[in-house]
Amino acid sequence: MEFKEGLTFDDVLLVPKYSDITSRSQTDLSTRLSRNISISIPFVSANMDTVTESSMASAMARAGGIGIIHRFLTIKEQSGEILKVKRSGSVMIENPYSISSDKHVQDALDYAKDRDISGLLVVDSSFKLIGIVTERDLLFASKTDKIQDVMTKDVVTAKLGVTLDESKEILHKHRIEKLPIVDDSGIVKGLITSKDITNNADFPNASKDKKGRPLVGAAVGVKGDFLERSESLLNAGADVLVVDIAHGHSENAINAVRYIKKAFPNCELIAGNIATARGAQDLISAGVDAVKVGVGSGSICITRVITGSGVPQLTAVIDCAKVGQEHDIPIISDGGTRTSGDATKALASGASTVMIGSMLGGTDESPGTVLTKNGKRFKVYRGMASLAASLGRKSKEAGSMSLYDDLNDYVAEGVEAMVPYKGTVTDILKQLTGGVRSGLSYCGAHTILQMQENAEFIKISRAGFAESQPHDVSLM
Ligand code: XMP
């Protein structure tokens, strides 16, 4: 039997090359997520229930990356998360949320809380604008008051076609935050908010769809409700779906890809996870638009411990990227990224993007609350194949636990853990992108593609690895 050598990030370094770059700003991190989607930074937040829901996905898109909403939700909940992202950063919200004037304050409060919004337009049955209720109107109103008695009736509006600058001027002149857009008959056509205008100016690299709304993806499984789920997610506006199972080089995954592509031919589809050239080839032949690579490399994964199976991440990416390149299909390196150096190595070895879990867990935008232990703050971060996560899934996703009807039979391939609370994801992404930009420069490259052409890896010894870490000093 022949043994193939498998290497991962800590086994290698990138050999420094001559660079003509004098400032990090001369580097360009734009890349392809999938066949038809490009993003400005090569980072994707993992479809895990402790990493990506709407808040994370909106922040990722604002920074120029993308988030994939996890599937451990009901179809309605997951599609609702997509809708929230789509509304979070568009300059004009189409179909803004509204309420009728005979409803009560409590209805408006519930409705707004459910959808994470701060105000509602008040419309009649033909969607004609008759008022607006914002936090200010609702704050001290009795919960049983009718909307028509508390709403602001003199609403400042603008006509369809108003420019961004004109909207800004109107919002400023009237010291208001929401500007409904109406047609000549007063029918609501959209809503422009000061928050979205500010976001637009503050985040010039944001990932956007053709309508100027944030890009967002969503994960689906390979059994049970996956086709119905795909349809609902696409209808809600998901830009890309990810067929996500632990062993993606399987008949189940390949069939799911074929079914989805057949039912929704225009759907941009990623699938994984696989770790070999053959796995990449088979998914590409089935019709995927990007391949997600990584088996057992994630920080909370115990697949390799439990099953003995996996491929060290760097080798997996190199092998899959060769196939991806032959077919012009991007590769996503998923799992095991602990530093910007790891991300740089994954990109240099052929990945177009890097999917990240633990580094983004523990942020303000990741789901879950902050816990305090021994005076330090943490958030829960858990593997999607951990026992705790599988319990959540059993109740949310039809069919997903059919193999494990009795939980005693469930063999976990992930662990539940805690990660330090880290503040906002924007700061983490600044560190990550800053590190990768410098990494490009060390490879003498202005772009990720150039880095892939220039990259020369050197295998290092244990002594070389030890030398790479801070050593012989006491860390503060
Ligand atoms: P990091 O290292 O960024 O990895 O935390 C995130 C990736 O880990 C994968 N993942 C799992 N793998 N068992 C596994 O073997 C699990 O329970 C599990 N949960 C997540 C997934 O690919 C994710 O993006």
- C-beta 356 within 6 A of ligand 1: yes
DSSP letters spanning 132-150: EEEHHHHTTS-TTSBHHHH
Q: In this structure, are 58 and 122 located in the same domain?
A: no
Output the CA 49–ligand 1 centroid distance in Å.
11
Of the candidates 62, 86, 60, 82, the one whose C-alpha atom is nearest the C-alpha of residue 70 is 82
pLDDT score, position 95: 84
CATH number at residue 455: 3.20.20.70
Number of domains, the chain: 2
| 475 within some domain | no
Rounded CA-CA distance 133/101 in Å is: 10
Of 198, 229, 257, which residue is a domain's last? Answer: 198
Show the beta-strand stretches assigned E in 152-310.
Answer: 158-159, 178-182, 188-193, 217-220, 240-244, 269-274, 290-293
267 catalytic? Reply is no
- 165/309 same-domain check: no
- 133 with 158, same domain: the answer is yes
pLDDT of 48 > 80? The answer is yes
User: What pLDDT, in 10s, does the model give residues 311-350?
Assistant: 999 999 999 999 999 999 999 999 999 999 999 999 999 9
Indicate whether 83 and 121 sit together in one domain: no
What pLDDT does residue 219 have? 98
Among candidates 127, 188, 126, which has minimal Cα distance to 159? 188
Structural domain for 138, as ranges: 98-198
Let me know whether 13 and 149 are in one domain. no
Q: What φ, ψ does residue 311 adopt, rounded to 5°?
A: -135, 130
Q: Is the pLDDT of residue 144 over 50?
A: yes
Ligand 1 centroid distance, CA of 227 (Å): 24
The per-residue b/e assignment along 376-411, b for 16 or more CB within 10 angstroms, e otherwise, is eebbbbbbbbbeebbebbbebbbebbeeeeeeeebe
The pLDDT confidence band at residue 94, using thresholds 50, 70 and 90, is confident
4 is a domain residue? no
Are 307 and 390 in contact by the 8 Å Cβ rule? The answer is: no
User: Residues 154, 177: contact at Cβ < 8 Å?
Assistant: no
**CATH number for the domain including 187?**
3.10.580.10
> In this structure, which residue's CA is closest to atom 12 in ligand 1?
301
Q: Separation of 384 CA from ligand 1 center, angstroms?
A: 7
333 lines ligand 1 (CB under 6 A): no
d(CA 95, CA 130): 16
Residue 357 CB less than 6 A away from ligand 1: yes
Nearest-atom number in ligand 1 for the CA of 299 is 2
Contact 455, 317 (CB under 8 A): no
Q: From the CA of 300, how far away is ligand 1's center (Å)?
A: 6
Q: How far is CA 110 from each of CA 30, 113, 193, rounded to the nearest angstrom?
A: 40, 5, 21
pLDDT in tens, 203-236: 889 999 998 899 999 999 999 999 999 999 999 9
pTM of this structure: 0.88
Task: At 405, give phi and psi (nearest 5°).
Answer: -60, -35
Tell me the pLDDT tens digit for each residue of 345-399.
999 999 999 999 999 999 999 999 999 988 999 999 999 988 888 776 655 655 4
**Is the predicted pLDDT of residue 195 greater than 90, yes or no?**
no
Ligand 1 proximity of 48 Cβ (cutoff 6 Å):
yes
Question: What residue ranges in 280-404 does DSSP mark as E strands?
Answer: 290-293, 331-334, 353-356, 371-373, 376-382
Q: Does residue 171's CB lie within 6 angstroms of at least one atom of ligand 1?
A: no
